[in-house]
């Protein structure tokens, strides 16, 4: 089985008021290409920090994050952004859409940044895929939470990522909407072989993946296959 993400002795510390706070301590795991994985653990245990490091949004204090064989720690900020553009999709709990842009424009941004052609038509296709073609000219404030999350999915899918990281993708959604969002994420895995790494509180969602990695107090305390694994 091919490895897409390799985490070796990963550590993250913050300095606050002259004290060093260890948020992640000697984390080790690797993720297989095309697999589905959940990261679970109590609030404050370091899950969001871990996801941000894996996705190259932040730098570790120690250890290695290797994505598709590329050591992210050796890269400049710009080079990490390139790796994100090329391989990574990221979904935030609070959607992080740009409020002054319409749904369509939000999806067009990463396409534009990559210098792609026919971006308007491509962005419309992506919105159609998440069932929002008829909301393309709405601003985020005019959309429900579930609709905003689906726009952010369309945006995250726009570079056909090899790996999708999602931080509490259903955290702010009602049960019915959350089901729709989960289906879209897992369809991407089935149809395009996209590797999934989901941080979640939702144990039902975690149980749909093949593997559950449990974090507590910044340490990896369990790493188990589910019945799907």
Chain contacts with ligand ADP (rule: CB under 6 A)? 14, 16, 21, 23, 41, 43-49
Whose Cβ is closer to ligand ADP: residue 41's or residue 110's? 41
- In three state form, how does the secondary structure of the chain look? CCEEEEEEEEEEEEEECCEEEEEEEEEEEEEECCCEEEEECCCCCCHHHHHHHHCCCCCCCEEEEEECCEEHHHCCHHHHHHHHHHHEEEECCCCCCCCCCCHHHHHHHHHHHCCCCCHHHHHHHHHHHCCCHHHCCCCHHHCCHHHHHHHHHHHHHCCCCCEEEEECCCCCCCHHHHHHHHHHHHHHHHHHCCEEEEECCCHHHHHHCCEEEEEECCEEEEEEECCCC
Smallest gap, in angstroms, from Cβ of residue 199 to ligand ADP?
7
> Between residues 43 and 76, which has the closer beta carbon with respect to ligand ADP?
43
Q: Is the Cβ of residue 34 or residue 41 nearer to ligand ADP in the bound state?
A: 41
CB of 41 to ligand ADP, least distance (A): 6
Q: Determine contact, residues 43/167, Cβ cutoff 8 Å.
A: no
Please state the closest distance from residue 137 (CB atom) to ligand ADP, in A: 34
Q: Residue 33 or 201: which CB sits closer to ligand ADP?
A: 201
Taking the complex as a whole, the smallest distance from the CB of residue 97 to ligand ADP amounts, in Å, to: 21
CB of 93 to ligand ADP, least distance (A): 9
| Closest distance to ligand ADP from the beta carbon of 3 (Å) | 24
Hey, how many other C-beta atoms are within 10 angstroms of the C-beta on 75? 15
147 or 168: whose CB is closer to ligand ADP? 168
Q: Which is nearer to ligand ADP, 48 or 149 (CB)?
A: 48
């Amino acid at each position: 089985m091919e490895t897409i993400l390799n985490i070796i002795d990963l550590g993250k510390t913050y300095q606050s008021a002259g004290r060093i706070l260890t948020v992640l301590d000697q984390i080790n795991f690797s993720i297989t290409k095309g697999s589905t994985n959940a990261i679970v653990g109590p609030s404050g245990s370091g899950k969001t920090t871990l996801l941000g490091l894996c996705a190259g949004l932040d730098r570790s204090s120690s250890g290695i994050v290797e994505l598709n064989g590329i050591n992210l720690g050796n890269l400049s900020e710009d080079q990490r952004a390139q790796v994100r553009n090329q391989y990574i999709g990221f979904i935030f709990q609070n959607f992080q859409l740009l409020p002054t842009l319409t749904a369509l424009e939000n999806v067009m941004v990463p396409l534009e940044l990559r210098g792609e052609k026919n971006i308007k038509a491509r962005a419309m296709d992506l919105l159609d895929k998440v069932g929002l073609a008829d909301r393309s000219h709405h601003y985020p404030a005019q959309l429900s939470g579930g609709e905003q999350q689906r726009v952010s999915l369309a945006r995250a899918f726009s570079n056909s990522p090899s790996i999708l990281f999602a931080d509490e993708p259903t955290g702010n959604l009602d049960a019915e909407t959350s089901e729709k969002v989960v289906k879209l994420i897992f369809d991407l895995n089935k149809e395009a072989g996209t590797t999934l790494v989901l941080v979640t509180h939702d144990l039902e969602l975690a149980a749909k993946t093949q593997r559950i990695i449990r974090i507590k107090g910044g340490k990896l305390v369990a790493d188990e296959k589910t019945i799907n694994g």
